[in-house]
């Protein structure tokens, strides 16, 4: 079926038992998610005929829904099966972003919490080329990550992302591509759109998960792959100074997997050998039988 509303790139959305082409309108002004942000999502990737860790992304969107007070209506296996079904609608040449979502239509007590019985599901697939591994620049953001006591940081919740968005926009206003975002204690948490790593004297380090940011699926996969090759990788509390003095910096995330940082503040960096190795290892693993 084709609806009048279209998207900028080839898009297919599964909702209410059928596939629809384009940017399908889903919620109205009375929808709880529209005005009180009761929505969660996850992001997986299809590229070069593989969809790495798709099962883990499917499990995580259900966990996010529960953390936000929603009731998942699909099993992870159903989400995975629908994804492979939907991917057949694309030409197989351009990378596809895979975004399962849950949201609430109605509210509970006094309308404020979500009514879990009104949870809805959709799966949106759309063409989204991956950025090249040439690298990007970062600056320290004045905006910080919230804690679990103040926001649902244990979920991939839509309500968290305006904060990420303003961090990136502020960085771009100052001539940078992205932002290094700190937690409320001033320790480095992540970038505005991905997890972050540094390399110092051959040792790979990444911020210790402390409840202020999601410990990403691609992050965990990268750690495991590097360690399998003998690289010492540590999760630890890291300061801005640690990053300013690093030999290498690179990020991991679903959108483009492993990408180096080539400038932090006024210091230029060359894409380093360990970042390159991490990306190579990820690509090798993603094309293995276990990754599909």
Mean pLDDT value of segment 114-133: 95
Give 179-220 pLDDT, tens digit per residue. 999 999 999 999 999 999 999 999 999 999 999 999 999 999
Structural domains for the chain:
11-127 (3.30.470.10), 136-291 (3.20.10.10)
Q: Among 7-16, 193-202, 262-271, which stretch is predicted with the lowest mean pLDDT?
A: 7-16
Q: Rounded to an integer, what distance in angstroms lies between the CA atom of residue 260 and that of residue 135?
A: 5
Q: What is the chain's percent helix, strand, coil content, to nearest 5?
A: 30, 30, 40
* Amino acid 289: pLDDT: 65
* Amino acid 276: pLDDT: 96
Q: Angle at which helices 76-87 and 54-67 pack, to 10 degrees?
A: 130
Mean pLDDT value of segment 41-66: 97
Q: pLDDT band at residue 255, thresholds of 50, 70 and 90?
A: confident
Greater model confidence, 227 or 108? 227
Rounded to whole angstroms, what are the CA distances from 104 to 22, 59, 61?
Answer: 22, 19, 14
Residue 116 carries which DSSP code?
G
| pLDDT score of 5 more than 80 | no
Q: What are phi and psi of 246, to 5 degrees?
A: -70, 155
CB 107 within 8 A of CB 68: no
């Amino acid at each position: 079926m084709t609806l009048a509303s279209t998207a900028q790139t080839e898009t297919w959305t599964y909702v209410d038992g059928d596939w629809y082409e384009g940017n399908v309108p889903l919620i109205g002004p009375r929808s709880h998610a529209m005005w009180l942000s009761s929505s969660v999502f996850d992001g997986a990737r299809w590229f070069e005929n593989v969809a790495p860790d798709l099962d883990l992304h499917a499990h995580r969107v259900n966990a996010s829904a529960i953390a936000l007070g929603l009731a998942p209506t699909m099993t992870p296996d159903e989400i995975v099966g629908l994804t492979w079904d939907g991917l057949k609608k694309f030409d197989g040449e351009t990378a596809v972003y895979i975004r399962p979502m849950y949201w609430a239509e109605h509210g509970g007590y006094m309308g404020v919490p979500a009514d879990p019985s009104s949870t809805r599901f959709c799966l949106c697939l759309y063409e989204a080329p991956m950025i090249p591994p040439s690298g990007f620049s970062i600056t320290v953001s004045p905006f910080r990550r919230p804690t679990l006591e103040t926001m649902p940081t244990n979920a991939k919740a839509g309500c968290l992302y305006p904060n990420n968005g303003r961090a990136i926009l502020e960085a771009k206003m100052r001539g940078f591509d992205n932002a290094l975002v700190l937690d409320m204690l001033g320790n480095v948490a992540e970038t505005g759109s991905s997890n972050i790593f540094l390399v110092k004297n051959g040792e790979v380090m990444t911020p210790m998960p402390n409840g202020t940011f999601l410990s990403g699926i691609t992050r965990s996969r990268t750690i495991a792959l590097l360690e399998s090759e003998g690289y010492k990788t540590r999760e630890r509390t890291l300061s801005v100074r640690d990053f300013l003095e690093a030999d290498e910096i690179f990020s991991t995330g679903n959108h483009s997997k492993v990408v180096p940082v080539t400038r932090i503040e006024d210091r230029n960096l060359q894409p380093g050998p360990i970042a390159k190795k991490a990306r190579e290892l990820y690509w090798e693993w993603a094309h293995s039988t276990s990754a599909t």
